[in-house]
Amino acid sequence: MDAGQNGLLASITAPGGEATAEADRILVAVGRWPNIENLGLEVAGVRCERTGIPVNSQMETNVPGVYAIGDVTGTSPLAHVAMRGGEVAVKNALGRVARIDLKTVPWCVYFRLEESQYLFAMVSILLHSLSTSPI
C-alpha cells in the first residue's frame, strides 16, 4: 500500500498479472478467532483451545450436556454450519441422537457480479487446462 493522489493505492497480484486500485480506505483482515474469553467456561470445566471450543459430532463439549455451536467451535465461520450445529445440539439436549456431518452442510461464497464472472472464467480456464493436461 502506498499513498495515491486521492487516497490509498494498493498493488494486487493475481494469476492474470498485477493491478493497482485506489480507495479511500483499505481493510486488511487476516484470520478470525472465536471470542470465548471471560465467559466463565473454565469454571464450568469446558475445555477451550486457541482455535475455539472443541466439540464432538453431536456438538457436545468435553462436559456432558454442555454444547457449543457456530464460530466458537472453530470449525467453520459460516451461518449454514452454525444453523445445522444448533439443530444438532438442540436435538441432543432433548435426548434425541443427532450428528453433524460437515460434508453435508451447504457452503457458499457471495460475490458481486463482476467478481463472480472473473472467478467463473478463472475456474473454467483451470478446468480446461486440467482436462487437456497429459498427466
Reply yes or no on whether the pLDDT at 133 is more than 60.
Answer: no
Residue 10, classed as helix, strand or coil, is strand
Q: Is residue 75 part of a domain?
A: yes
Instruction: Please state, in angstroms and rounded to a whole number, the distance separating the CA atoms of residues 7 and 28.
Output: 16
0.85 surpassed by pTM? no
Q: Is residue 88 part of a domain?
A: yes
pLDDT value, residue 29? 66
Instruction: Please state, in angstroms and rounded to a whole number, the distance separating the CA atoms of residues 123 and 135.
Output: 19
Q: Is residue 17 part of a domain?
A: no
- CB within 8 Å of 87: residues ≥ 6 apart: 98
Average pLDDT score, the chain: 83
Q: Is residue 96 part of a domain?
A: yes
pLDDT value, residue 123? 78
Q: Band of the pLDDT at 61, cuts 50, 70, 90?
A: very high
Q: Is residue 100 part of a domain?
A: yes
Q: What is the mean pLDDT of residues 91-113?
A: 83
Q: Is residue 74 part of a domain?
A: yes
Q: Is residue 79 part of a domain?
A: yes
The segment with the largest mean pLDDT, out of 32-36, 37-41, 95-99, is: 95-99
- The answer to whether the beta carbons of residues 22 and 6 sit under 8 Å apart is yes
Reply yes or no on whether the pLDDT at 52 is more than 60.
Answer: yes
Reply yes or no on whether the pLDDT at 135 is more than 70.
Answer: no
Q: Is residue 110 part of a domain?
A: no
Q: Which domain holds residue 77?
A: 55-104
The residue that leads in pLDDT, 53 or 10, is 53
> How many structural domains comprise the chain?
1
